[in-house]
Chains A and B, each alone.
Chain A
Amino acid sequence: MTLDSKIPAGPLSEKWDRHKFNLKLVNPANKRRYDVIIVGTGLAGASAAASLAELGYNVKTFCFQDSPRRAHSIAAQGGINAAKNYRNDGDSVYRLFYDTIKGGDYRAREANVHRLAQVSVNIIDQCVAQGVPFAREYGGLLDNRSFGGAQVSRTFYAKGQTGQQLLLGAYSAMNRMVGSGQIKSYTRHEMLELVMVDGQARGIIARDMVTGEIERHSAHAVVLCTGGYGNVFYLTTYARGSNATAIWRAHKKGAFFGNPCMTQIHPTCIPVSGDHQSKLTLMSESLRNDGRIWVPKQKGDPRPPADIPEDDRDYYLERRYPSFGNLVPRDIASRAAKDMCDKGYGVGKTGLAVYLDFSDAINRLGEKAVEAKYGNLFDMYKQITGDNPYKTPMMIYPAVHYTMGGLWVDYNLMTTIPGLYACGEANFSDHGANRLGASALMQGLADGYFVLPYTIGDYLAGVERKPIANDTPEFMEAEKAVKERLNKLLSIKGKKTVHDFHRELGLIMWNHCGMGRNEQGLKEGIVKMRALREEFWKDLLVPGSDNELNQNLEKAGRVADYLELGELMMVDALERKESCGGHFREEYQTPEGEALRDDDNFAYVAAWEYKGDNQAHQLHKEELEYEFIQRSQRSYK
């Protein structure tokens, strides 16, 4: 099978408009004869569901939470980028496009990223019209802040709760359609299998998480908006429920997996405090606008941070990257922190932390102003650590936060399975090897509001307008497979809980496929992963049954999938013998320790095809053509 990215021809800035014109349309009267299933109701899912329902399609949404509003998009703090140029500081669609491509270390598609930058302006308009309370200036117009990887102020925000407000906006749009009957919302439902009929995605098998009932749902198209798969790492900033099951099931049914090794480690998270820890908490990147990152110049300096004089502090980001300073992209900031800690300059009990200091900002702007900007983040930090960041610097350390990889999709966001789409973090799309801050919200909403509603029609226009039966052999078989799998998990009755396995899995991933990766480590990791997987299926202990609310059973299914996905991530990382963005292979670095890309051999998207259990994945390469941008060594100095 050859990959066709379906990128339209023509000048960069006209590609999307031309493409929209060329896409087939579904007659308004016919739209109601098509059913679309949307799995996941975060920014991408909720916005897609609302927009498709507004168009007249019958939409069914599925989420594992008790409400679409709880999707983890809600936790995004900092903001959303848009090329509005309200600041008159030289921003433009092209500059946002350029920054995003460069930020992604030249591993994203030009056409996709340009489209993203183009529709970014519509997103802000849409959200404001929905009543999203963005921060405003006294004149009543929208305020902006700056974010990592950009030298213009283009980030729109709502205090430290931008993701929440945008999600609630999309959720409200969705609610309107639920109220009108155009969307049927299934909550506390988890998709456990994709159903294919004649090689096309035609439905899903879902489990009612309250009763345990297995349900068959059919549709003319299935859209996966289930977010990223970072929870493979166990300790992450993801929600505990975030999982890869939907995309992994789809992958095993034929959807290629794009760039699985591309994970983002966020530089400003609260460090780990002990073994009991269940998740890591992110402190918005916006903190780097006013906070200065430093470590003591002397290793193991025992003095409290406030007592360490200016001369004994190493503001290493400002020193190494004078022009971007504390606002370098995330991969660079994270790696620099790891680098300093590895060299022994780390602070705190574990030595795995650096200071993020606001004393300058407090002196310059006053505590009030700092509180107005970051108050909720400071409160959160205090709540978790017991330290007061107004008085003593925060301690931060990088943590897994986002996955740039995901299901491979073409320009229409369709996976390699006809009728199966992936939007938002679930696809590999627009961020290349590293995502810039405030771009995840942008991409999720761009996909859901402004891309999918056009592109899905092109597919549906060619699909027969009759209801899809959900009792065909394909559905019955998929349902049976799901039930068998659940029974298998319950029947092992071993000694280790699913949390035990998840924790071990996370450790393997973090040690072998974390911020720094190398050939030997990855190879060892793969061996360990296979052993753990084997142990899992022999020694897992899941209490209870499958016909009740059973949180351990839910999680067991997810961890089973991580155990396979984790291996693919390491296989991909091993295959990519270069460093780029979030993927840092220690063998490939510049003399200064920066990522060293290999454009001659690795300027491609790795799309992995599943070939069967215990069979090696097959690699397909989508070469990345750069027509408009000159690739260069990324520099933020």
Chain B
Amino acid sequence: MSGNMNLTLKVWRQKNASDTGRIETYPAKNISPDMSFLEMLDVVNEDLIKEGKDPIAFDHDCREGICGMCSMYINGRAHGPNKGVTACQLHMRSFKNGDTIIIEPWRAAAFPVLRDLIVDRTALEKIQQAGGFVSVNTGSAPDANAIPVPKWNADEAFNAAACIGCGACVAACKNSSAMLFMSAKVSQYALLPQGKAEAKMRVTNMLKVHDEQGFGACTNTEACEAECPKGISVSNIARMNREYAAAMLAGE
């Protein structure tokens, strides 16, 4: 078909967590600009399988930019060159015929590579389990409209809660810090009356686990915000810093 492209892929291949891994080169032929990036990889994989080679393993699920499963560093950027999209929403019309594309997994000590482009993001889970919740048992809730929440707070909380937990912030951060991820959750609850009761405990517990999991510290480069497919703001990190200091330094 006219307008289709031929590309060269340089892809990180790693058999399993203990393999050292290396970059290998594959051609991607006759790629339609209407394909998503992952569909392009599907095409390459189908060829690899038929050639008797191992297909490239990559995480993906919803393919509509909301599940947060897809996670790849494309040409030096988390989720590729476009702002505000995940790899599954990145379409091949963003590339030109003849381009070489480097595809790597998220890089962080806290995200060990499981295979090829797939990393283990359990560390993010652990942070959530430490405090990313409001302690309310099923059935014990008051009427939903019993506590009015100012629209600004509700909207800000929503903006923070829009995080899809993909880990692009960690991948893009030169320190592999998960502050944006964690602060989004801390902020969501800090902004809502429902979350206030255990705010101090939440932020201290979550940060403790964040540090234990081997994520780096934030140095305010703001790369996380720039690369976040959901546009989560670093003002959440500021809020979390505030919350944490208040929780730790306030007298008892």
Contacts and interface: CB of A to CB of B under 8 A. Distances in A.
Direct contact of A and B (CB under 8 A): yes
15 contacts: A47-B138, A71-B67, A74-B62, A128-B144, A133-B158, A133-B161, A136-B148, A136-B149, A136-B151, A141-B148, A176-B133, A240-B63, A383-B91, A549-B57, A552-B49
A131 B55 CA distance: 42
Interface string B131-148: 111111111111111011
A50 B138 CA distance: 8
Contacts of B115: 210, 548-549
B113 to A, nearest CB: 11
A71 B130 CA distance: 21
Interface in B102-133: 114-115, 118, 120-122, 124-125, 128-133
B36 A75 contact: no
Contacts of B67: 65, 70-72, 74-75, 239
B188 interface: yes
Given A122-B139, A125-B141, A497 B61 contact: no
Given A75-B66, A158-B158, 5 more contacts: A70-B69, A126-B141, A276-B32, A277-B39, A549-B115
A185 B65 CA distance: 24
Given A129-B194, A131-B195, A549-B16, A176 B135 contact: yes
B141 A543 contact: no
Given A141-B148, A279-B63, A134 B141 contact: no
B135 A139 contact: no
For chain B, the bracket of interface size reads 35 or more
A124 interface: yes
B59 interface: yes
A132 B128 CA distance: 15
A548 B16 contact: yes
A69 B122 contact: no
A142 B194 contact: no
Nearest to B1: A274
Contact of A386 (B43, B62, B93, B147): B93
B42 interface: yes
Interface of A: 47, 50-51, 54, 65-67, 69-72, 74-75, 84, 86, 122, 124-142, 158-159, 161, 164-165, 168, 171-173, 175-176, 178-179, 185, 187, 210, 237, 239-241, 273-274, 276-279, 281-282, 379-380, 383-384, 386, 449-450, 453, 495, 497, 499-500, 541, 543-544, 548-549, 551-552
Nearest to A156: B144
Interface string B34-52: 1110111011001011101
Contact of B130 (A65, A179, A185): A179
B162 A161 contact: yes
B201 to A, nearest CB: 12
The 8 A-B residue pairs with the shortest CB-CB distance, nearest first, are A140-B148, A129-B141, A172-B133, A133-B158, A179-B129, A125-B141, A133-B157, A51-B138
Contact of A54 (B137, B149, B164): B137
B54 interface: yes
Interface string B164-207: 11000000000000000000000011001011000000000000
Nearest to A76: B66
Residue with the greatest number of chain B CB neighbours at <10 A, chosen from A131, A282, A450: A131
Contacts of B69: 65-66, 70
Contact of B151 (A138, A175, A548): A138
Contact of B121 (A66, A158, A449): A66
A22 to B, nearest CB: 19
